[in-house]
Amino acid sequence: MTKLAVIYYSSTGTVHAMAKRAAQAGEKAGAEVRVRQVAELAPPEAIASNAAWSQHFDATKDEPRATPDDIVWADAVLLGTPTRYGNVASQLKQFLDTLGPQWSQGLLADKVYAGFTSTMTAHGGQESTLLALYNTIYHFGGLVAAPGYTDPLKFADGNPYGVSHVTGGSNDAPLGEAQLAALDHLAERAVRIAGKLAS
């Protein structure tokens, strides 16, 4: 059975919802799935300053946290992050930066990787965030399985680099059918490619 790890950071819940959907799609594709959120690094006063952030932090504080073993264990890894000034959120980046021991032993190589992200505004750095995320994967020796336009549904979601969602000015727009379908496709494709590599 192909093993899929969905590792993400979410402050107010959008990327969390994306991770859950990707995990469900991975399970439907026949994978054994782990869903793990990376540790929060922001100080309590920053979290408390945003009601949605504080609420999401409280709601997910008991969920399992990502460890290096979750990536070592996996055949395919989906990484999720909100966009921070066109870049990967520091919480996810910090987790990736701790993987030196596993990287040096070659334990992160030859796995399938792909990413997903969200922003408040259209063209708010979604593509640059995914491209920045993949820089780390290249150093791992990982195999980036960006979705490209491998299915007609990608012309609706419009992101060949991964999956992205615009939350809007109030930062609460729910995932639409295009994003849900794109997440399903991303997870199914990663599981399928990883299965082919394993065989």
What domains can you pick out in the chain, each with its CATH number?
3-198 (3.40.50.360)
Residue 77: C-alpha distances to residues 44, 123, 172, 194 (Å): 30, 25, 26, 10
Helix (H, G, I), strand (E, B) or coil at 117: strand
Contact criterion met (CB below 8 Å) for 114 and 49: no
pTM of the predicted protein model? 0.97
pLDDT tens, per residue, the chain with 199 residues: 999 999 999 999 999 999 999 999 999 999 999 999 999 999 999 999 999 999 999 999 999 999 999 999 999 999 999 999 999 999 999 999 999 999 999 999 999 999 999 999 998 999 999 999 999 999 999 999 999 999 999 999 999 999 999 998 888 899 999 999 999 999 999 999 999 998 8
The two structure tokens encoding residue 56: 């999401």
Instruction: Give the length of the chain.
Output: 199
